[in-house]
Amino acid sequence: MRTCKKYLSAAALWERIEFRVGVAQDVFAQTDGLFDICYNDVDKEAYPQIWHMAKGWIRPGGLYIADNALWHGRVTMGNYVDAVFGSTEAIAEHNRLVFNDPEFDAFINPIRDGVIVARRK
């Protein structure tokens, strides 16, 4: 959080930010209002659950961003032999949910491990 605060303060934006760190499910339960941006980097097997929770909290024009959308290329291989506790299946399902949601436009930026960005219409 220090790095985030440093850069947002330098841009004179920190005072406009409500920055929360914690277990995503708990943060959503304790928050009122809508988000401009929701960044998801939870345990991978929880990605579909977080999408279902987060999408209703994002304002029109707001962004949902999730890291690891390509998961080392595993989600593109079709047969999800996964030594990481079902993470590949969960991320693939998450990506399908995001791309099939008619309220969002989405794309995957293939940088590093893939970042999915979805904008609420």
User: Model's pTM, two decimal places?
Assistant: 0.84
Per-residue model confidence (pLDDT) at position 69: 95
Low pLDDT (below 50) residues in the chain: none
Residue ranges of E strands in the chain:
35-40, 58-67, 104-109, 115-120
Per-residue model confidence (pLDDT) at position 22: 81
Per-residue model confidence (pLDDT) at position 80: 60
Per-residue model confidence (pLDDT) at position 84: 55
Task: Write down the CATH superfamily of domain 22-120.
Answer: Vaccinia Virus protein VP39 (3.40.50.150)
Domain boundaries, the chain: 22-120
Percent of the chain with pLDDT over 70: 93
**Nearest CA among 75, 22, 73 for reference residue 48:** 75
What is the DSSP code (8-state) at residue 80? Answer: -
Distances (CA, A) of 94 to 18, 45, 56, 71, 118: 26, 9, 15, 12, 12
Per-residue model confidence (pLDDT) at position 21: 79
Specify whether the CB–CB gap between 4 and 30 falls below 8 A.
Answer: no
